[in-house]
């Protein structure tokens, strides 16, 4: 069962995971993870996820930024539970690799 969040376009599943409404296979964490890992802008996310609207993308980004600590903690817990993830770069390392924002 999905519950509407306070954010338009974002619903929570039974386990409290934030999903893009109408796209149950696209959790907010996936979208934001792709943006952070690859340095993708909202426009690039739209190109990579053409089924989403810009409103849905911005809602996901807003949700993440308003729940950043909670979502990062969940990500860290997931990383610890996946053995191969221990060999992947940390968020801090990925942030260092991110290209500088264009002016």
Domains, the chain, ordered by start = 3-97 (1.10.10.10)
Q: What is the pLDDT of residues 44-72, one digit of tens each?
A: 999 999 999 999 999 999 999 999 988 88
The model carries a pTM of: 0.70
What DSSP element (H or E) covers 18? strand 18-20
pLDDT of residue 91: 73
**pLDDT score of 84 more than 60:** no
């Amino acid at each position: 069962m999905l519950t509407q969040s306070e954010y338009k376009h974002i619903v929570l599943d039974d386990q409290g995971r934030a999903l893009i409404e109408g796209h149950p296979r696209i959790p907010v964490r996936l979208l934001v993870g792709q943006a952070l890992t690859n340095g993708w802008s909202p426009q690039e996310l739209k190109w990579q996820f053409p089924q989403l609207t810009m409103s849905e993308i911005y809602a996901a980004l807003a949700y993440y930024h308003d729940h950043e600590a909670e979502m990062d903690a969940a990500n860290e817990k997931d990383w610890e539970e996946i053995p191969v993830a221990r060999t992947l770069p940390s968020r801090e390392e990925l942030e260092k690799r991110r290209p500088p924002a264009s002016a």
